[in-house]
């Protein structure tokens, strides 16, 4: 099976042309776990299959490292844009990509025939408890108390197609994410689990963020998480609409255009290497 290893701000996935590989859907979670293993496989935060689509230019089928399917992936969709343009699957610099029934629109920024960065219209944030989903009454979930490991936190919840709990903190560098991350991820109040962003607001235009991702653990960046974090900042009156989100693996430019109620994410996409693997090697 041929694959391309790519990353967006260090959030790295294994990209596979779904039109050329026909792995049965029911085997994909196990294949994803094996390929994502950083010792026995290729290594990555998960696997993204790029498929033909009738509803959009391409389909993104995204799996976390644990084999779970996710509705949306911000760093991933930017790399999908780079993949299809650099491989000549499209010559357009404005393309659409569908994931779990939702279409996103991408603008590809190129240099010497290669995509360097991508701007994505990530759509409108979903803010009602039942849309996240989170158990927290009905209506918006802003500054809601949640108890984790006998400590009380305040969360603001946002869905970008996938669930996010955003926690504002004065310091995030020393946070024991390995300990509290899984407790948030699997908290009983999140019927579909959750991604959790720990955010330090630097000023009205800049924030710093660490993230514990559903199905993967701490990653160097999370595109949907950066969008959710900026939405939460604005809902709490902490920043302006255009924010630079500083993540462990790099920075993303996020804007929530409140008039249009659309969130735009702009950031890099990088190809690391191409490869080929024989699924039988790892005993699949």
Ligand X SMILES: N[C@H](CCC[C@H](N)C(=O)O)C(=O)O
Binding-site entries for substrate: 11, 64, 74-75, 162, 195, 213-214, 223-224
Alpha helices in the chain (DSSP H): 28-36, 74-86, 177-185, 223-235
Q: What is the CA radius of gyration of the chain?
A: 18
State which residue has the least CB distance to ligand X: 162
For the chain, what's the residue count?
Answer: 284
Residue 217 or 279: the one with the smaller Cβ distance to ligand X is: 217
By CB under 6 A, residue 73 contacts ligand X: yes
* CA dihedral over 167, 172, 176, 178, signed as positive or negative: positive
Of 258, 107, 235, nearest to 168 by C-alpha is 235
Least distance from ligand X to the Cβ atom of residue 254, Å: 12
Regarding 224 and contact with ligand X (CB under 6 A), the answer is yes
H helices of 138-222, in order, are: 177-185
State the nearest-atom distance from the C-beta of 282 to ligand X, in Å: 23
Q: Which residues participate in catalysis according to the annotation? A: 73, 222
Listed in sequence order, the residues at least 6 apart from 22 whose beta carbon sits closer than 8 Å to its beta carbon are none
11 binds ligand X (CB under 6 A): yes
Task: Lay out the site mask for ligand X across 131-170 (x = CB under 6 A, - = otherwise).
Answer: -------------------------------x--------
Residues 161-220 that bind ligand X (CB under 6 A): 162, 195, 213-216, 219
**Rounded to the nearest 5 degrees, what angle is found at the Cα of 47, between the Cα atoms of 269 and 59?**
75
> Can you give the binding site for ligand X, defined by CB under 6 A?
11, 64, 70, 73-76, 162, 195, 213-216, 219, 222-225
């Amino acid at each position: 099976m041929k694959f391309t290893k790519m990353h967006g701000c260090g959030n790295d996935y294994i990209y596979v042309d779904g039109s050329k590989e026909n792995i049965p859907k029911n085997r994909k979670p196990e294949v994803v776990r094996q390929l994502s293993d950083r010792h026995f496989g290729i290594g990555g935060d998960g696997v993204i299959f790029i498929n033909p689509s009738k509803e959009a230019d391409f389909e993104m089928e995204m799996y976390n490292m644990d084999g779970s399917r996710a509705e949306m992936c911000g760093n991933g969709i930017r790399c999908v844009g780079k993949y299809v343009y650099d491989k000549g699957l499209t010559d357009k610099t404005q393309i659409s990509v569908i994931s779990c029934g939702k279409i996103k629109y991408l603008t590809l920024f190129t240099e010497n025939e290669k995509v360097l960065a991508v701007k994505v219209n990530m759509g409108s944030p979903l803010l009602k408890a039942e849309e996240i989903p989170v158990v927290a009454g009905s209506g918006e979930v802003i500054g809601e108390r949640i108890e984790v490991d006998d400590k009380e936190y305040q969360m603001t919840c946002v869905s970008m197609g996938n669930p996010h709990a955003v926690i504002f903190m004065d310091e995030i560098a020393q946070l024991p994410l390995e300990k509290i991350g899984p407790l948030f991820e699997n908290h009983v109040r999140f019927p579909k689990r959750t991604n959790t962003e720990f955010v330090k607001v630097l000023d009205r235009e800049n924030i710093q963020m660490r993230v514990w991702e559903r199905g993967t653990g701490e990653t160097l960046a999370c595109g949907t998480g950066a969008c959710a974090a900026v939405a939460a900042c604005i809902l709490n009156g902490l920043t302006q609409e255009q924010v630079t989100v500083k993540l462990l693996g790099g920075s993303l430019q996020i804007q929530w255009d409140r008039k249009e109620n659309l969130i735009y994410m702009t950031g890099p996409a990088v190809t690391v290497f191409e490869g080929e693997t024989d699924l039988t090697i790892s005993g699949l």
